Amino acid sequence: MIPKIEIILGIDPGFGRMGFGVIEKLKTGEWKALDYGCVDTSPKKKFTERLLEISDALNFLIKKHKPNRMAVEKLFFSKNVTTAIEVAQARGAILLSGAQAGLEIDEFTPPQIKQATTGYGNAEKQQMQRMVAMILGIKGKIKSDDAADALAVALCAGQSAWIKKVK
């Protein structure tokens, strides 16, 4: 029997910019970045149109990479209530797209993501991003913070996958 290739789509949710990262587990047990970047929506468009853009982009990524799982960062807190509500609505569109594609979906808080990638739940964002690049073999700095965060979310899902199997 051929072992199933594990591909995880990580998402850093947002409505103005959604970060995404796709990673694959190699036969060696190491992880490799397949794709990463951001989906930007125009503030000139209606909010519902922006949600549709996010959903369409996510559906495209799912069809292109055929992930087994999707991991999404949980909304941890926000000082701006309006922004928090809009990000929460974007998360809803993201989760719905993943569920409609039949993906297993994991959700993680920022401290859980930092713990999984650096070993310290209160790590600085830059420290986490350097570790993500190092683990995935990406040379240099990942240009977008949102894409780096999405890769970290995917890695967190990959690092915690064995825990689900043990339960």
List residues with catalytic annotation.
12, 73, 146
Residue 30: burial class (beta carbons within 10 Å; 0-12, 13-18, 19+): exposed
Query: What distance in Å separates the CA atoms of residue 61 and residue 80, rounded to the nearest whole number?
Result: 30
Please give the backbone phi and psi of residue 84, each rounded to the nearest 5 degrees, phi first.
Answer: -60, -40
CA distance linking residue 63 with residue 41, whole number of Å:
20
CA dihedral 13, 105, 32, 135 (to 10 degrees): 70
